[in-house]
Amino acid sequence: MLGRGAVAAAVVVFTAGLLGLLGCSFEGGGAAEPPTAASTGGVTTSAASPLPNSTTGSASPSAPGSPSPVPVTGPDQKLVSMTVTGGFAGVHQLVILRGDGTVYASEKGQPAVRHTSAAQFTELRTLLGDPALADVPDFTMDMGAADMLQYTLQFNGRTVMTDRSGDEPALDRLIDALSPWLSKK
């Protein structure tokens, strides 16, 4: 049986390879609408509304001082990617936020490109700028649990893997804010 370190390393290598393949082939030129009630499981968005499914309605800081939005260096910059795998049904979803405000989402190879509103883009970047994310461990999984979803996030030069079994409010807010952008069938 593989140990935790070997499993974590295998998942990171697999995820990095998958993201590299997807990142190299995606040019971000598609025009698509932001998530709708049908694509977000009943959550609707508009250009003036905050991010869908936000737990507090704002990016409240978890540490002293207010987080500021992470800077954007170019339209093709990958600000954050999140891969969701596992569960009883064998979920495999991916969402990538790019520097031009586009969101690439894929479920089992079916891609979709959507655009954030200015407010949504700022809120996502602010969540990424939360100083509390620096304190989140790279690996928090309950290895004894079965059929839990596993989240692999890449942001700020880090890879973080979690099944959300730990208490990490800053990470949970980021996952909650990205989840409505995942492809829904």
Joined tokens for residue 126? 């602010």
- Domain range list for the chain: 4-181
pLDDT band at residue 147 under the 50/70/90 scheme: confident
End-to-end CA distance of the chain: 35
Q: In CATH, which of 1.10.287, 1.10.8, 3.30.310, 3.30.1560 is domain 4-181?
A: 3.30.1560
Q: Tell me: the pLDDT tens digits for 91-105?
A: 899 999 999 999 999
Residue 38 in this model has a pLDDT that exceeds 70: no
pLDDT at 9 over 80: no
pTM of the entire structure? 0.66
- Rounded CA-CA distance 92/22 in Å is 14
Pairing status of strand 158-162 against strand 149-155: antiparallel
